Structures are given as C-alpha cells and as structure tokens.
Amino acid sequence: MTSGPDDLRGPCPALKTLANHGYLPRNGVGRLDQVVTAVMEMTLPSSWSTQAFLMSGYPLTNLTVSIGIKTSFTGQDPPKLAVVGGLSQHGTFEGTVIRLSRVDASFGDAAAFNQSRLNDLLSFATKYGANGTYDINATAELRNERLQDSIMTNP
C-alpha cells in the first residue's frame, strides 16, 4: 500500500517500505521502539525477545518519532539538546556519504528523489560492476566520486 497524501515519509527507502507494508504505522509516526521492532522483524527475528526486553518501558524508547519531517503528531518537543525534526532531519540520522538518489541538503531538497543521481548509480554499475551489476567495485567508485565532489562543492 503506498502512502496517502497526509502520511509522512522520509528519504530512507527501508523506512518507507516498512511503513507502506504496515510494519510501522502507515501514517509514518510511531514510537522509537516500534521503529526498532519493525527493523528487527525484517532482519533479525531470532533476537525479538532480547529486543523486547531491552526496549520495554524504557522512557527514551517510548518517544514518538516521525520517519519523515517534524509533525505535531509526535507531541511536545523534548528537552533542549534533542534535535527535533523527524528521522529525515538533515544532519542527525544519516549514515551515508553516498546519496544514491538524493541531492545533498546544501543544494536542495534532500528528501526528494533525483533521477540524475540514480542514473549515475546505474552508469557506475555498468562501468565498474561485474557483468554490469551494482557491486562492491561500483559502490567504491561511486563513493569516491561523491566524496571528492562533496569536498570540492559543499559549503
């Protein structure tokens, strides 16, 4: 089921998929423990009981989060030093140097799909990947190019 007009989605394909398939609340807003549980159900089913034990009732995990942008559905803002803005907030949860299909936030909407970025990925797969596939070699080459570009152009 695709997201509706009022549902929140960020740029992370995995979180979008989890929400679209009902592992996360379909509106894109849920508790942190729901996000962890959804990811665990898809990747490490054998550790469900451990995860449930660790997450159950802990005040931090009872926080409501958005997989997209900041929203009033998450309730009152947390105390100072906390970054409020949803999991797609630039500079907080991102873990990749390679923006496969999004531009850097310094140059536009970091959440919007960018076809030319994806075309770069496909051309690197053709040029560097084994039999035209996207593999570790293509990943390394694309990462290096994006890193060099970032060093040269980011403010």
Annotate 79-95 with b (16+ C-beta within 10 A) or e (fewer).
Answer: eeeeeebbbbbeeebbe
Packing angle, helices 115-128 and 136-153, rounded to 10: 130
Residue 26's closest CA among 68, 58, 62? 68
Instruction: Examine the domain organization and report whether 35 and 87 are in the same domain.
Output: yes
User: Are residues 61 and 105 part of one domain?
Assistant: no
Task: For Cα atoms 21, 27, 91, give the angle at the middle one, nearest 5 degrees.
Answer: 95
Same domain, 64 and 21: yes
pLDDT of residue 123: 93
Listed residues 42, 63, 94: the one ending a domain: 94
User: Are residues 132 and 86 part of one domain?
Assistant: no
Same domain, 90 and 102: no
Into how many domains does the chain fold? 2
Q: Are residues 77 and 139 in the same domain?
A: no
- The domain in which residue 51 lies consists of 13-94
Q: pLDDT tens for residues 70-119?
A: 777 777 776 666 666 666 665 555 555 556 777 877 787 777 788 998 89
Q: Determine the average pLDDT of the residues in 117-143.
A: 88
State whether 111 and 90 are in the same domain: no
* Distance from C-alpha of 67 to C-alpha of 108, rounded to nearest angstrom: 19
The average pLDDT across 52-66 equals: 54
